[in-house]
Amino acid sequence: MSSVLFDIPGPKARIRHRLLAAVGILAVAAVLAFVIYRFTDTGQFSGRKWEWLEYQQVQIDLLNALLTTLQAFAVGAVLALVFGAIFAAGRLSDHAPVRGAATVVVELFRAIPLLILMFLFYYGLPALGVPMTPFLAVVLGLTLYNGSVLAEVFRAGIQALPKGQSEAAYALGMTKTQVMFLVLIPQAVRSMLPTIISQLVVLLKDTALGFVVTYQELLYYARFIGSQGTFGRPIVPSTIVVAAIYIALCLLLTALANYLERRQRRSKKHLAGATRQPEELTLAADAA
């Protein structure tokens, strides 16, 4: 009835926890009710504040802002995954110079805030004569920051694998690079899939920082619409719409992660069943 880290709560503790949970839910509901009341009282839910959604050009521009957000996310996610895999392999290298260089790069870009990275790329590189666009600044920042975090995720996943995996690969004559990229990293990705998806959700939300370097993504367009006096400056309604879009995108990513996890479990069960069948046939033959 007990665990190493904590004792399972008894009847009185369970009742106390339920009461505290009910009080917490009521407090959150009260805060949400107050926010909705203030929005209603200040006219944020009036028809004039939301009529901008009825214009076809606004809908097209909002869709274009969504596509630019997804474009930055897609490119940044792919590059961050590649960056993470390469530098995770570098941090696990047998060569000290490679391992040291990879460690410096990962720790450096993981320590610098993403917003500062975007500022450095967009405003700093042109000062050095390197041309830079808002899209490149956003993608580079997303790649380096999130790729450094993913490198640590991959490294932890690789180190958690049984040593027999790499030993069997070496016994087949595979090189260190082949073992890393063909055996260890694919297994680490499968085992660390929830953490990887969580970091990709963070990457998706971080695209909103692109507005500070004039990248025309969802938040940039929300600020633009919210400043239009023609529509009554609907900054709160436009922000709510953009927040709902981000929530929907994050839920889609979570659904994708759940689907991949269920598929992985089904694959494991199928493989386990396939390995049991020959054993059962052998036992049946021996019994006969």
For residue 286, pLDDT over 70 is answered with no
- Confirm whether 118 is domain-assigned: yes
pLDDT of the residue at 166 = 81
Taking the C-alpha atoms of residue 142 and residue 72, their distance in angstroms, rounded to an integer, is 9
Q: What digits encode the pLDDT tens for the residues 262-285? A: 777 776 665 555 555 555 545 444
Q: What is the pLDDT of residues 139-175, one digit of tens each?
A: 999 999 999 999 998 888 888 888 887 888 888 888 8
Asked if residue 1 has pLDDT above 60, the reply is no
pLDDT tens per residue across span 10-30:
788 888 889 999 999 999 999
243 in any annotated domain: no
pLDDT value, residue 276: 53
* pLDDT tens, residue by residue, 35-63: 889 888 888 888 778 888 888 888 999 99
Q: Read off the pLDDT of residues 57-79 as tens digits, 9 standing for 90 and up.
A: 889 999 999 999 999 999 999 99
142 touches 72 (CB < 8 A): yes
Q: What average pLDDT does the segment 248-263 reach?
A: 84
Q: What is the CATH number of the domain that holds 158?
A: 1.10.3720.10
Residue 52 lies in a domain: no
Q: Is residue 131 part of a domain?
A: yes
Identify whether 110 is part of a domain.
yes
Q: 2 pLDDT exceeds 90?
A: no
User: What pLDDT is attached to residue 134?
Assistant: 92
For residue 246, give the nearest of 68, 69, 44 by alpha carbon. 69
What pTM was computed for the model? Answer: 0.78
Is 244 domain-assigned?
A: no
Q: How confident is the model over 206-240, as pLDDT tens digits? A: 999 998 888 989 999 988 888 887 777 888 888 89
Q: Look up residue 12 and give its two tokens.
A: 């009185």
Retrieve residue 175's tokens. Answer: 């090189």
In a domain, 124, yes or no: yes
- Domain span including residue 175: 70-221
Residue 35 belongs to some domain of the structure: no
**Count of structural domains within the chain:** 1
Query: Which residues make beta-bridge pairs with 7?
Result: 2
Q: Give tens-digit pLDDT for 176-213.
A: 778 888 888 888 777 788 888 889 999 999 999 998 88
Checking if the pLDDT of 4 tops 80, the result is no
∠ Cα 92 77 213 (to 5°): 115
Q: How far apart are CA 218 and CA 61, in angstroms?
A: 10
